Structure 1
Amino acid sequence: MEPIPITEPELAPDDLATLARAKQALEAQPLAMKLASAVGTPIERLLERLPAGAHDTIADATRRALDASLRAAVATLGAPAPTLAGDDNGAAPSRAPSAKPRDWLHKVAVATTGAAGGAFGFFALPAELPVTTTLMFRSICDIARSEGEDLREAEARLQCLAIFGMGSHEQDEQADFGYFVARGALAQAISKASSELASKGVAAHGTPALVRLMNVIAARFSAQVSEQVAAKSIPAIGAVLGAAVNTVFIDHFQQTAHGHFAVRRLERRYGSAAVQAAYRAIESTSSGRASRSRA
């Protein structure tokens, strides 16, 4: 007797449209290209002009910034999700999508820190980056909650932190769908770290699983912070352009968060296999853009 073939559930038209928008957000042009458009200079050229020791400074500032976001996430774990900028009542999140996140409010706040960074240059990085990253993390949490994530759960909060490690897929360009490759690279580390957080709470900070996860995220995020810093390295960049660079920076990660948490919401409804199959069937806007640039 032949086995009965198992068919995956088909996504409803509205959900398929949501998935198409998510894929477009997740496969948008790399951050370096967006920053180059903002400042009018290739980022690769600006990276070469960074002062000696800049990458060590960036790596250290990145790690401190991510650690501040992790501490904020762990400190309130298990309690109702904190009120984020733009919230009216701070109600505990549900698994159903909630009110739309106010991305613009976080953009304004991050633009303000960018203006300060633009005025004081590279030396402002150690002070500016933790503030900028914390604001971005809060925005990501806001987006996650809008897609039905329960931010009282350790795994949901680590998924928010992991967005900083999903913002770049350049190394996965040859994959059929690089988002799932990048996500899969973080999945095991997130699972182990969330288990430690769920069982140990605040005491889990500094445990091997969390350290490994932070190392993976920091390595990926640091590369994009370097691109952001390079964009601000133009002599006399000023406050206006510094604000513009930071706006591009947060928008890049907001779009990644919108795409990622929309995919997770659909997976809760249809299952991972069905969503991945549908995702793969959608024509990639980024591949179309790449083919046109090669023509």
Structure 2
Amino acid sequence: MTTDVLAPATDLVFAGSLSPEDRDILRNAMRTLEHPSLPARLGALLGQQIGLAGRFVPDAVVSAANSAANVALRTALRAAIKTLPKTASTKTSRWHTALAAMSGAAGGLFGLAALPVELPVSTTIILRSIAGIARQEGEDPHDPGTALACLEVFALGGGQEAGPAGEGGYLAVRAALAKSIQQATRVVLQRGLADETAPTLVRFIGQIVSRFSVTVSQKAAAQAVPVIGAAAGAAINAAFAEHYQALARAHFQVRRLERLYGAEMVREEYRRLISVETAPHAA
């Protein structure tokens, strides 16, 4: 099976199976990754309005969301990953959530018109938060493979496509991106992150955008609710940030376990946990 780039496996342990504690970590990560929660978060904020707004967002708005997502990811790649401090940050995920909420206040006041300006700002803030989570899970955000894995998180939140039987959407997305990440990592090592026009990086970002834009459209639908106000706009962006922080935590927990036990063992256990969760007798 093709695998994506992992952090150096210097902590690899040789054991027959995951420890009970690590199995619990993997189970919780699987539940987060297989059941993205942004629609539920937004529904809790806006009730039935989010569903109604989603039905009536015109195609032009969806197209605008796609364009905004493309610009946002390119901006985030340049501004967030390249400029991360070398030392560990004392900023918490809550701090980044608060910053994202502040940027979302404009979306609440000006609605969809603010999306092209606001989304790159909030996405950059969220990506910095994701990089902090990666560091907490033992990775170096300045390593090109880790940097691209941070960006990969934005492909995980738009509802997972079905993989092979028992595979799970998360593993399917990672498999779909694996070759692009490997190629993009080589380009970054040779030319640096600034060369975003390289075809390999363009293709990789395009794959992320195709999934990220699904979530952006959900966010846009929420902001399309008439006169939601600055406070609601801030709350929408806070939910947006918390959504990706939860995915990032789960994603980098899986990667940490892969470094400890090997990718195949962890992914096989991930598949087994999915089968247990979806069995007819499961709660």
Offset of 1:70 from its aligned partner?
Answer: 1.5
Residue 67 (structure 2) aligns with: 60
Query: 228, 231, 234: which one pairs with 1:243?
Result: 234
- 2:85 maps to what in 1? 82
The 1:186–1:283 alpha-carbon spacing in structure 2 relative to 1, beyond 3 Å, is closer
Distance 1:74 1:107 in 2: 17
| Number of aligned residues | 268
Match of 2:53 in 1: 46
Matched AA of 1:234: V
Unaligned stretches of 5+ residues in structure 1: 1-6, 89-100
Which deviates the most, 12-21 or 198-207? 198-207
State the Cα deviation string for residues 40-86 of structure 1 (Å, max 9, x = none).
0264531232245212221211111111112135645xxxx5269x9
Cα shift at 1:34: 2.7
Q: Which deviates the most, 64-73 or 50-59? A: 50-59
Residue identity in the other structure for 1:55: V
CA distance in 1, matches of 2:276, 2:119: 31
Q: Residue type of the partner of 1:87?
A: S
Matched, 1:165 2:165: no
TM-score of the pair, normalised by structure 2: 0.85
- Specify which of 126, 140, 149 is matched with residue 150 of structure 1: 140
Which residue is equivalent to 2:188? 197
- Match of 1:37? 44
**Which shifted more, 219-228 or 115-124?**
115-124
CA drift at 1:125: 0.9
DSSP-derived class of the 1:199 partner: helix
The residue number in structure 1 matching 2:115 is: 125
Q: Which residue of 2 aligns with 1:21?
A: 28
Could you list the runs of 5+ residues in structure 2 that have no partner in the other structure? 1-13
CA gap 1:150/1:106 in 2 versus in 1, 3 angstroms = same
Which residue of structure 2 lines up, in the alignment, with residue 91 of structure 1? Answer: none
Distance 1:65 1:29, change over 3 A: closer
Aligned to 1:98: none
Q: % of aligned pairs identical?
A: 39
* TM-score (norm: length of structure 1): 0.82
Q: Is the 8 A contact 1:23 1:284 kept in 2?
A: no
* Distance in structure 1 (CA, Å) of the matches to 2:158 and 2:63: 20
Using the TM superposition, give the Cα deviation of residue 170 of structure 1 relative to its aligned residue in structure 2, in angstroms. 3.7
Return the letter of the residue paired with 1:131: V
Report the AA paired with residue 35 of structure 1. Answer: L
Q: CA deviation at 1:30?
A: 4.1
1:230 aligns with 2:230: no
- Whole-Å Cα distance in 1 between the matches of residues 276 and 45 of structure 2? 21
Cα distance in 1 for residues equivalent to 2:274 and 2:155:
24
Displacement, 1:161? 0.6
Deviation of 1:266 (Å): 0.5
1:109 aligns with 2:62: no
Provide, for residues 115-170 of structure 1, a one-character-per-residue CA deviation record: whole Å limited to 9, x for no partner. 22101211111111011100010011011111111122111100101111111334
Instruction: Give, in whole Å, the separation in 2 of the partners of 1:285 and 1:239.
Output: 43
Task: Look up the match of 2:10.
Answer: none
Distance 1:83 1:51, change over 3 A: farther
2:211 to 220, 233, 238: 220
Deviation at 1:31, TM superposition (A): 2.3
Helix, strand or coil at the partner of 1:172 = coil
Calculate the aligned-residue CA RMSD, in Å. Answer: 2.6
* Contact 1:155–1:194 (8 Å) recurs in 2: yes
The 3 A distance-change label for structure 1 pair 189 and 112 is same
